[in-house]
Amino acid sequence: MEFQYRDGKPILPVQISGSSEKISLIGILDSGADYCTAPRVICEELLDTVREQEIFIPGGTLMLPVFKGAVAVGDMEKEVEVIGVDMHPRLNIDCLVGRIFFGTMDVHLLGKSGKLVLDW
């Protein structure tokens, strides 16, 4: 599956779903992120809470809720743990797609061509 970069970044259409509803978001593939993230309010409405977890970020740590749900990119959907956290509005994205989702895929970041290719 192939996606065009946006503003020089590997941007993806993402769907987060719980038992009754799906929400479409704009995500970025983040090779440094262990988890996927989604806005906390969306996670609280759609997904089941699993636990609170200490998350290590540059500059410190945060205690954040972890939820269980489905993350889909294109025709690939996986049940994964999702961290409920809001992205800064200036990033122009809703969520991160982390290694918990794409760790078993071949990921090709084709910066010169402005493309992201996921092979599963």
pLDDT at 20: 81
* CA–CA distance, 18 with 106 (Å, rounded to integer): 27
* CA–CA distance, 85 with 12 (Å, rounded to integer): 18
Segment (H or E) for 45: helix 40-46
Closest-CA residue to 73 (of 110, 38, 34, 113) = 38
Cβ proximity of 69 and 13 under 8 Å = no
Banded model confidence at residue 19, pLDDT cuts 50, 70, 90 = confident
pLDDT at 57: 86
Banded model confidence at residue 112, pLDDT cuts 50, 70, 90 = very high
Banded model confidence at residue 12, pLDDT cuts 50, 70, 90 = very high
Cβ proximity of 44 and 105 under 8 Å = no
3-state helix, strand, coil in the chain (%, to 5): 10, 60, 30
pLDDT at 58: 87
Amino acid residing at 19: S
* CA–CA distance, 33 with 57 (Å, rounded to integer): 9
State the average pLDDT over residues 13-30: 94
Banded model confidence at residue 64, pLDDT cuts 50, 70, 90 = very high
pLDDT at 5: 97
Going along the chain from its start, the domains and CATH numbers come out as: 2-119 (2.40.70.10)
Residue 31 vs residues 19, 28, 47, 72: alpha-carbon distances, Å? 28, 9, 24, 17
Whole-number percent of the chain with pLDDT over 70: 100
Q: Per-residue pLDDT tens for 65-104?
A: 999 999 999 999 999 999 999 999 999 999 999 999 999 9
